[in-house]
Structure 1
C-alpha cells in the first residue's frame, strides 16, 4: 500500500513537531521544514501527496510560497494559520490553497481534512482521464485543461479539476451550489460556503477569454452554476446572469 508523503512547512519548530507527531501517528510519512526557501529547494527534488503550510513566516509568507508551488505543481495544499478571518481564508484559497484550517485547531479536524483531501485526490486520479466538450479538453491525470479555441493549456489545482469535471459532465445543466460543494470537497466538508465562489472565479480566470464577462461558466442566480457551450453561452448569458 502506498504511504502518503506529506510536506509540512512552519517556521515554528514546536508546530512542526506537533504536526509531524499527529500525522505520523496516522501512518503518513512526513517531512517537516521550518524554512520556506528550503521547502522550495526540497520540492525540486521530491514528490509529495500533500503540502501543509503556515502563512506568517519571516523568509517568505505561505501565500507567496503557495503561488510559487502552484507555478509548477498541482499537489493539494492545506493552509494552517492563526489568521482566521473570512478574508484571510479567501486570500489563501485565491493563492492556490485547497483548504484552510484556523489555529488553534482540533487535531481530529486536521486529520479528517488531511484524509479527505488525499481521498479526493485519489478519486480524481482514478476517474476517466480525459473529458471533452466543444470548448474544453480536461486531462484529470495531469491536472490540465486545454482551451479548444486558442489551443492554450492551463494547470488546475485538484479542487478546480474536480469542479470542472463535474460541470463538464453536466454541460448545459445548472448544478446547485450544494451539488458542486459535495463533488469538490465531499459531504464532510464544513468550510464557508463562499469558498465555492472563490474557486468559480479562479476557474473563470483560466477558461474564459474575458473572466469579467463569462460566456462558458455561467451563474444561475440563487441556484448555482452551469457550463454552457460557447455558441449558446453568448446568447443566454444576459438571461442567466454572470
Structure 2
C-alpha cells in the first residue's frame, strides 16, 4: 500500500485529503508543521509527500531542501501560492510537481499517482544509449535523432534542451533550471528563449506541434518529457 505523508495545517483539508486518499487505498499520515513532517519523513519513509508551503513553524521550501538532503521521495507541493516565482523556487529546491489551491481532487490524485510511478521507474542510467518513442528515437551517445527513418537536424542548443528533458522522463524541470543549464546564469529570467526553442523542437519531433504528446508545458512552471 502506498504511504502518503500530508503536510498541511488546515484540519478540514487534511480530513478531506485523508478521506479521498484512503478511499483509493492509500495509507495516510499527516503533519501540521515542518518539524513533525521532517521527523515523519525520516522515520516512516513515506512513498510520496503532499506539502503545503505555508506552515506555522517554517517555510515549505525549507522542508523540501531538508528532505532532499537525505532522499529522493517524490514531493508534490499543494499551495495557495500561485506566482511563477513561488513555483520555480519550489521546483528548484527539489519538488517534483506543483498544484495550486483551489484544486481538483481528481487532478491531485492523477499527479500523485504519476509521481509515485516515476519514483518506481528508474531514470535512464549512464548505460542507456537509445530512447525510443512511437514517433522518433534519440541516440544519447551519437547525439542523433531519427524520425520516419531520417535524421532530424538539431542545433546544439536544441539538442542540449532535449537531452536534459529526455534523460529525466516524467520529471517537471523548471524554466529557470533549463535556462541556467542551457544558456547560463545571465539568462535565468529569459523565458522567451525557452518558448522559441521548445516550439522549434516540437515542429521537428511532434506529429501535432500545437498539441504535443512528448514535450509538455506546465504553464508558469516548466517543461517535462513524457515518453
How many Å apart are 1:178 and its aligned residue?
A: 11
Alignment: residue pair count: 167
Q: Tell me if the contact between 1:93 and 1:198 (Cα under 8 Å) persists in the aligned partners.
A: no
Label 1:26 to 1:200 Cα distance change in 2 as closer, same or farther (>3 A): same
- 2:84 aligned with 1:86: yes
- 2:116 aligned with 1:131: no
TM-score (norm. length: structure 1): 0.59
Q: Tell me if the contact between 1:8 and 1:32 (Cα under 8 Å) persists in the aligned partners.
A: yes
How many Å apart are 1:198 and its aligned residue?
A: 3.6
- 2:178 aligned with 1:200: yes
Q: 1:137 corresponds to which residue? A: none
| Distance of 1:123 and 1:169 partners within structure 2 | 20
Q: Tell me if the contact between 1:6 and 1:29 (Cα under 8 Å) persists in the aligned partners.
A: yes
Task: Write the deviation string for residues 205-235 of structure 1: whole angstroms up to 9, x where unpaired.
Answer: xxx9xx649xxxxx997246xxxxxxxxxxx
SS in 2 for 1:55: coil
Task: Identify which of 170, 184, 190 aligns with 1:185.
Answer: 170
Gaps of 5+ in 1: 134-167, 214-218, 225-242
SS in 2 for 1:78: strand
Q: 1:116 corresponds to which residue? A: 114
Q: Tell me if the contact between 1:181 and 1:196 (Cα under 8 Å) persists in the aligned partners.
A: no
- 2:9 aligned with 1:19: no
Q: Tell me if the contact between 2:92 and 2:174 (Cα under 8 Å) persists in the aligned partners.
A: no
How many Å apart are 1:197 and its aligned residue?
A: 3.0
Task: Identify which of 37, 41, 44 aligns with 1:43.
Answer: 41
Runs of 4+ in 1 over 4 A off after TM superposition: 175-179
| Distance of 2:79 and 2:163 partners within structure 1 | 26
Gaps of 5+ in 2: 129-137, 145-158, 187-192, 202-227
Q: 1:140 corresponds to which residue? A: none
Label 1:178 to 1:23 Cα distance change in 2 as closer, same or farther (>3 A): farther
The CA RMSD over aligned residues, in Å, is 3.4
Label 1:201 to 1:20 Cα distance change in 2 as closer, same or farther (>3 A): farther
